[in-house]
Amino acid sequence: MGKLPKLSLVFDEKKGRWPLKQDKTGKVVKTFETKEAATKGGVLKKVLGKVGGSVKIQKENGKIQEERTYPSSADPHQSKG
């Protein structure tokens, strides 16, 4: 599988919403009212569709909370360190 698109779910203080942005272009793919609305029940998976991607989910303070890969089969295998 080729390189997956990289996206970030970040908090926009001015608008009080959570846009999902492409890291490379800064283009907003979709905006959510809350972080919970974006991360529950496969919503991100539906948004990314067949293309998939790697999503960094940030906290309101900008620190990365977690990173998810869709489809999960495209997640890089971890090696013993």
Q: In the predicted model, what is the mean pLDDT of residues 7-36?
A: 96
pLDDT exceeds cutoff 90 at 80 = no
pLDDT exceeds cutoff 90 at 75 = no
pLDDT value of residue 77: 63
Q: DSSP characters for 19-66?
A: EEEETTT--EEEEESSHHHHHSTTHHHHHHTTT-EEEEEE-TTS-EEE
pLDDT value of residue 81: 54
Is 0.85 topped by the overall pTM?
Answer: no
pLDDT value of residue 37: 96
